[in-house]
Amino acid sequence: MNNLREKWFQTGLTAVLLAACLTMIAPLVHLLAVSLSSARYADAGLVGFWPKEPSLNVYRTIVGMRTLWRSMGVSIYITVAGTAAALALASSLAFALSRPAMPLKSWFLRGIIVTLVFSIPLIPGYLVIKALSMENTLWALIVPGALSAFNVIIMRTFFLGISSELFDAAKIDGSGEFGLYTNVVLRLSGPVLATIALFHAVGQWNQYFAPLIYIRDKSLLPLQVLLRNLVVESDVNSMMQSGQIQMSLAATPEMMKAGIVIFATVPILIVYPFLQKYFVKGAMLGSLKE
């Protein structure tokens, strides 16, 4: 009887998770189908999850958009640089807080938890960025979110699980604290580093509010802001009139929006398979204890 109940539970759980996955994937599949369909079917709203009269005209147009490629480069830069800075700062601070000899570490932890509960208000944050001369620079998109209390706490928890015997052996071999950090901790922290890197990279890639506040130069706008202007503000027609988009007769503004959404989503999806092995291990952090 218990086996039957467990079987039904697993079947129901699988069905629910499958339905949740389909609701997340379905919009992307629909947009892909719209971007690959002919104009008459796309404008009439007759495209479902399979393209009708498939064509690559939209993506030929997207490839020729210099503005889009420049924004793509900005997004890649702030994602890579921001993720590297986040890992360096969070791991070094978490290592210091995990060491038993660090003085006043309990007070530092309390201060970090306060920043986790209370975020910086918009106007004081803007004034700080302006006072540091980071306004209208890419530093404004990298520095404010480089150190996260959540990342520090997760990494510290992982570092505390590393056997103290490894640290003792490294000290016998002559390693100092920096050597322990680089040769022991970082080498054993692949899962947690990959998990934090993936979360932070996705956040950096998808951010658009901070660029709207801090960036004035259009050449420094990341891809998500350009995507927002195209989709939310219907900026496709104005870009066509200014010559930024040389759109063929077979591609309509709605098809262009769908194609650009796919174009902006695919790069971050490509990263996940390379981190999946470590991400699964890192996601289980804290679930098991010896």
User: What does the chain come to in residues?
Assistant: 290
**How does DSSP classify residue 47?**
-
Which are the contacts of 170, defined by CB distance < 8 A and separation ≥ 6? 179, 180, 183, 184
Q: Is residue 191 domain-resident?
A: yes
Number of domain units in the chain = 2
159 and 240 both lie in a single domain:
yes
152 and 221 both lie in a single domain:
yes
Whether the Cβ atoms of residue 210 and residue 141 lie closer than 8 Å to each other: yes
248 and 138 both lie in a single domain:
yes
Residue 70's φ and ψ, nearest 5 degrees, are -65, -45
In terms of residue numbers, what domain contains 51? 1-55
The Cα angle at residue 247 between residues 241 and 252, in degrees rounded to 5: 95
> 């990298």: which residue's tokens?
142
pLDDT digits 0-9 by tens, 45-76: 777 788 887 778 788 888 877 888 888 889 99
Q: Is the pLDDT of residue 242 over 50?
A: no
CA distance 174 to 178: 11
Write down which residue in 36, 55, 74 finishes a domain: 55
pLDDT digits 0-9 by tens, 82-137: 999 999 999 999 998 888 888 888 888 888 888 888 877 888 888 988 898 888 89
CA distance 63 to 65: 6
CA of 233: how far to CAs of 19, 27, 92, 206, 227, in Å? 32, 20, 42, 18, 9
Predicted local confidence at residue 202, as pLDDT: 86
When pLDDT is averaged across residues 11-19 and rounded to a whole number, the result is: 90
CA of 280: how far to CAs of 190, 198, 266, in Å? 11, 11, 21
Q: Please state, as a whole number, how many other Cβ atoms lie within 10 Å of the Cβ of residue 2.
A: 6
Q: Is residue 169 domain-resident?
A: yes
CA of 216: how far to CAs of 108, 140, 241, 290, in Å? 36, 12, 22, 53
What is the pLDDT confidence band of residue 283, given thresholds at 50, 70 and 90? Answer: low
Q: Which of 30, 59, 120 is nearest to 250 (CA)?
A: 59
Predicted local confidence at residue 249, as pLDDT: 47
The two tokens of residue 198 are 């993936």
188 and 66 both lie in a single domain:
yes
Summary mean pLDDT of the chain:
81
Coil vs helix vs strand at 246: coil
Q: Is residue 290 domain-resident?
A: no
Write down which residue in 15, 33, 55 finishes a domain: 55
